[in-house]
Amino acid sequence: MNAGISTRITSTPAICSATSDAPALALPIYSVTPFTLLDFPGRTACIVWFSGCNMRCGYCHNPQIVKSKGRGNIGQVMDFLRKRTGLLDGVVLSGGEASVYPSLPDFIMKIRDFGYAVKLDTNGLRPDIIRDFLEQGFLDYVALDYKAPPGKFKKVTGVDKYKYFSETLRMLCAQENVPFEIRTTVHTGLMNEQDVTDIIHDLDRLRYRGSYYVQNFRADNDRPTLGLLPPQARILKLDKLPKPHNFSLHFRNF
Ligand code: SF4
């Protein structure tokens, strides 16, 4: 998840104790944001937050999610989603990183059966899963975090796995069936103008034609980041960034 920017986790749903689906899905639910108009383009949606992540971004604003084993109940989430059919039309799968869980396809199939469109927020480290989801028509929208260029990827994410992210990026750019957006969160203690310039040039090389969001890290004094990062000493200089040739560039929280 693009921590520090995305919708703040607000609550677990008001859930009854009935779990009529009682699905045997091993999914570590952290919480549910019951309603959002901001996180799934064109949809009235809820967000299901999954615990656990395969990255360790220093600026992550949700260390409690990353380190959690889950505290919610998948059956209760299914009951919540069943009751919201007709009121909501989309479900955002966020976290943490939802794509790492083997039971996620079963969950997606169940919520698609309810009639929901599905958006996946992902850091892109599981191209095998994303490929499978695309082939099976599981996804209606993807938000992919482009954390950092290759030379900074480990420093920003804590993992030396740019090649997996890159495979996901190239796969998404090579298909036209599922719309997607790309996002980079910038903390200038980790990333600079040249790093974002490198990303813009990479996206142009791939003939990316969607929207690219450069998002300013947002400090939250009452919530330390995963890497206990200090506040930014400066803000990214947006006028130093090149104009993309093929896609639209947007700035958030600057
Ligand atoms: S560690 Fe990184 S990828 Fe994982 S939830 Fe936090 S910001 Fe997102």
Instruction: Verify whether ligand 1 is closer than 6 Å to residue 57 (CB atom).
Output: yes
> What is the value of pTM for the model shown?
0.92
Strands 117-122, 248-252: parallel, antiparallel or unpaired by DSSP?
A: unpaired
Q: Find, among 75, 76, 68, 117, the residue nearest to 97 by Cα.
A: 68
Residues 34, 45 contacting (CB under 8 angstroms): no
- Say if residue 223's pLDDT is above 50: yes
Residue range 185-189: mean pLDDT, rounded: 96
Ligand 1 centroid distance, CA of 83 (Å): 30
Residue range 126-154: mean pLDDT, rounded: 98
pLDDT of residue 2: 61
Q: What is the C-alpha end-to-end distance of the chain, expressed in Å?
A: 19
Q: What percent of the chain has pLDDT over 70?
A: 91
pLDDT of residue 1: 65
**Domain annotation covers residue 218:** yes
Instruction: Verify whether ligand 1 is closer than 6 Å to residue 66 (CB atom).
Output: yes
Q: Find, among 90, 59, 67, 91, the residue nearest to 186 by Cα.
A: 59
- Say if residue 17's pLDDT is above 60: no
Model confidence pLDDT, tens digit, residues 106-125: 999 999 999 999 999 999 99
**Domain annotation covers residue 3:** no
Residue 20: what residue type? S
Q: Return d(Cα 100, Cα 33) in angstroms, integer.
A: 21
| pLDDT, averaged across the chain | 91
| Residues spanned by the domain of 242 | 29-252
Ligand 1 centroid distance, CA of 96 (Å): 6
Q: Tokens 């947002």 identify what position?
A: 218
> Which element (helix H / strand E) includes 67?
helix 63-67
Count how many domains the chain has.
1
**Domain annotation covers residue 22:** no
Residue 206 burial by Cβ neighbours in a 10 Å radius (0-12, 13-18, 19+): middle
Q: Can you spell out the DSSP letters for 149-202?
A: -HHHHHHHHSS--HHHHHHHHHHHHT--SS-EEEEEEE-TTT--HHHHHHHHHH
Residue nearest (by alpha carbon) to ligand 1 atom 5: 96
**CATH at 75:** 3.20.20.70
pLDDT-based confidence at residue 16 (cuts at 50, 70, 90): very low
**Domain annotation covers residue 10:** no
**Domain annotation covers residue 191:** yes
pLDDT of residue 24: 67
| 173 half-sphere exposure, CB direction, 13 A CA radius | 21
**Domain annotation covers residue 86:** yes
pLDDT-based confidence at residue 224 (cuts at 50, 70, 90): confident
Ligand 1 pocket test, pick from 97, 159, 164 with the greatest ligand atom count within 8 Å of Cβ, gives: 97
Identify the weakest region by mean pLDDT among 6-10, 42-46, 52-56, 244-248. Answer: 6-10
Q: Return d(Cα 201, Cα 239) in angstroms, integer.
A: 16
- Say if residue 12's pLDDT is above 50: no
Ligand 1 centroid distance, CA of 143 (Å): 13
Model confidence pLDDT, tens digit, residues 190-219: 999 999 999 999 999 999 999 999 999 987
**Domain annotation covers residue 122:** yes
Q: What percent of the chain has pLDDT over 90?
A: 81
**Domain annotation covers residue 1:** no
